Every structure is written in C-alpha cells, then in structure tokens.
Amino acid sequence: MNYLIPFLILITVVVFIHEYGHYYFAKKFGVGITDFSIGFGREIFGWNDKSGTRWKICWIPLGGYVKFFGDRNVFSQAEQNELINKYNESDRKKLFILKPLYQRSLIVFAGPLANFILAVLIFATINFFVGKDVTPAIVIDVKNDSPAFTSGMLKNDKILALDNKKIESILQVSTFINTSTSELIEFVVLRNNSEITLFIKPNLIDTKDAFGNSVKKKIVGIRLAPLNGEFKKQSLGVMQSLFHSINEVWFVSITSLKYLGSMLTGASDTSQLGGPIRIAKITGQVAEHGIVPFLSVMAYISISLGLINLFPIPMLDGGHLMFYFFEKVLGRPLKQKTQEGFFRIGLFLLVSLMFFATFNDLKDIGLF
C-alpha cells in the first residue's frame, strides 16, 4: 500500500491533465463529449454534468479517455456521407470527425501539450518555492586506473560542461553522464583558472541506485561533493523559474528521445525500459522522501506520457496526427481499410511494448 497509494495519486493526476487537454479544446470547438474516464473497464463511480458528459472512475487505473459524440476509431469519405444522413443538423455540429482539420489536430495535440505544461508548472513551482541547486561540481577524488584518471582528470577540477551542456549543479553530472549517447563524453573542467577539455569513455556497471534497485550505470571514476558539505540553493523569480523549467522539460524530452533511439539501434541497455510496476515501485520509494521528490517524479512521468502519445503509432495521439497529415496532403481521409490496417499494426506494437516492459518489471523485482 505504501507504493500503491502514491502511484495511484500520480497516475490519476497525470492522466486527468492529459485527458483534460483533449476535453478543453473539444469543448472550445463545440464537440459533444459523452464520457470523461479515468481508468478503463468497469465503472467504480461517476456522475453526469449539465451538458450530459459522464465523468467516471474505472477499475483499471492505467490510463483514461475522452469519448466524443458519435466517436469512431476510423473515418473515411464514405462514412462522412453516412454520418451526414444519420444525424440532424444540430447533432452534426457536435461531431468531432466533421470538424475542420486544424480543430481536430489541436484537440488531439492538446493532450500531450497538457502533460508538458503540467511538468513546466511543477518544475517552476519547485524552483520558485524551494530554489534551484547551484552547487559547483568539484572533483574531490579520482579513482586510480579509472576512465577519468586515465584521461587526466585531477582532484579539485571543477566540471563546467559535459557534451556541450553547461553544468549548473553538482546534481547534473551523474544525470548527464548516464543520459549521454556518446561513446566518449566531452568534459570541460576548470583547473588553475584555465579551461581544459577531456574525453572520457565511461564504464558500464551493474549497481544499485539510492533506493536499492538494480540498475546499469555509467561511471567515470570520480567523486563529487559540495564545499563544506553544503548544497547551495538559489531563489528564482517567476520568470526565471519558468525559463529554467521549460529548459528542463526540453532537456528531458530530447534526452529521452535520444535514449530511445539508441535502444532501437542496440547502443543502449533495453533492460532500463520499465512499465507500470517499476513506475509504482519508484513512485512509492520517492514519496517516502517528501513532496518535492514526489512532484519531480510526477513531472518526469508527465513528460514521458506526453512524448509517448506523440509517437506516430495508430491508437496513440501521434497516430491520429499522422492520419491528419495524410488527409492534408491527399485532400481526403485515408480509406477505411487502410486506417484499420494501421490500427492493427499499432495494436501489435503497443501490446509488444507492454509485454516487454512488464517482463523487465518482473525481472526487476526478482520473478525472472
């Protein structure tokens, strides 16, 4: 229960924000909405609002959906004529699939966009109320015969940048090392008032994270520590908080895409790809350390949900946007059989990804 409750809170908030993005723009453009569901399967409880939308919580909490009036998974030119004849003029105005292309695209894109906005607001709140860590990354020890030692790094070097990314906090060093897709990581260090560039090839080792979970980690053989053992926090104003938050969301998004790309090419370890079980485990572990770490994880999960939904896979928001792109280019929607074929491919990809992630999760908790 210590893991389950924080996970349910996190996933409910992230999914609600995603679906509310769809809901908000659908209402804005006059689309009828029959259901707003958090979770799938049988309804636990719900209520109807004055516009007739059924708001409900269902038993399977791994997602949600907004169902539009007259909603269909596929839509062809032939079906458009069928719909025009089926509904009266008043009802036609509420049909999502009869809305202009740009409105349908905005409604679909609004879900992932809401997730990115949520992450920005969470990071901005933390930056504003807690402050941004600006502790310098000072090397206090270099392990003998380590990659850093071999490349010439010395004690008291101050790390300024990794792979052309400025180091603004000691906490960024490990993150930048482990998210780098380069075989040789470029370090820029300050030594005796001179900037020196070092290229270091990290070792990949099996180790434990701060919560005792098994992970594969890149290490270069250095130990960092703040001066006098004190971390420095810099208070930020509203605009500075937003600026750094947007940069953080951008960095996490680009880094995630690069890492996924490297996994597809075999350059990165696929065992680090996890699913709901791992997310629940990490969420519960982080929640024990306070509200700020919990909110940070919520922001990262929100970014991940937004990114995944933008993949051009049918059944995801990105798949619908792909169909709308074809519709714009061709001047008409794809044929129904073509769309159905794409949906079958999308279902296969999603189920395969789900099984792979679940296998990693079960292996992570020692069942395999």
Q: What is the DSSP letter of 335?
A: P
Residue 357 one-letter amino acid: A
d(CA 235, CA 254) in angstroms, rounded, equals: 26
Who's near 304: CB < 8 A, 6+ residues apart?
256
Pick from 235, 252, 233, 115: nearest CA to 175: 252
Residues in the chain: 368
Q: Is 19 known to be catalytic? A: yes
CA dist 343 and 72 (Å) reads 12
CA torsion, ordered 175, 176, 180, 184, to nearest 10 deg = -130
Q: Indicate which residue of 19, 168, 195, 230 is catalytic.
A: 19
User: Cα–Cα distance between 250 and 262 in angstroms, integer?
Assistant: 18
Task: Pick the closest to residue 210 from 174, 159, 253 (CA basis).
Answer: 174
Residue 61 φ/ψ region, left for φ over 0, alpha for ψ in the -120 to 50 degree band, beta for the rest: alpha
The whole-angstrom distance between residue 116's C-alpha and the CA centroid of its chain comes to 8
Active-site residue list: 19
